[in-house]
Amino acid sequence: MRKILLIALFFFFSNFILFSQEYIQDYKTGKDLSENLDVLHASLGASSGINNLSGFFGLNAEYFFYKGMAVDLGVGFSTWGIKTGAGFSYHNMYVNNFYLRAAYIFAAGMRLDSIQLKDIQGNMRTYTVQMHAAHAGQIVVGKDWRVGSRKNRIFFEIGYTYLLNKLLKKNLMTIWGNYYPSNESLFLLYLLAPHGISIGFGFMFGR
């Protein structure tokens, strides 16, 4: 996780420096930057991915409330039930460049009835699993590519999602059965929760 954060910060600050240098050059030459700086707008779109803001498939919305700064929202389907996300992102003014986002993730959970899992002796048994609500924090670095209109774009992002249930002292799941499930079975169930490497891609329509 530490390496991913360092990479994200490196891209963020290096691109910010590049923008600042170009801004100074354009200011000296009198070039009009209003098109690049006028980013106050809302966008709607769809995305997919692994540990994405809106699950493996969902809808996204964002609102740029200040130059380069936006509120991001997402809702969709995930392996841990309906998933929602909300966060803040910083774009380095040019829509086709890098951005950094920090977000809070909430997955509602769901109930799995009569699923087959291995017990501690390696035999397949029937269990009922209640996935409780999952809470997580996320940080990603992404890149936009302009498509057609200046405010329409595709994006790709990568980062890390950290599960907060243990920190918040909230149970992640409850398992009912007549036998103890194996560590392998517990690990596979844990993989379904929103945590770990995050990868997302999608398309946003701006207005």
The helix or strand, by DSSP H or E, that contains position 88, with its residue range, turns out to be strand 81-91
Could you tell me the pTM of the whole model?
Answer: 0.78
List, for residues 112-151, the tens digit of each pLDDT value. 999 999 999 999 999 999 999 999 999 999 998 888 766 7
Span 40-96, pLDDT tens digits? 678 999 999 999 999 999 999 999 888 789 999 999 999 999 999 999 999 875 545
Q: In what order do the strands lie in the sheet with 173-176?
A: 111-118, 124-131, 173-176
Which domains occur in the chain, in start order?
2-206 (2.40.160.20)
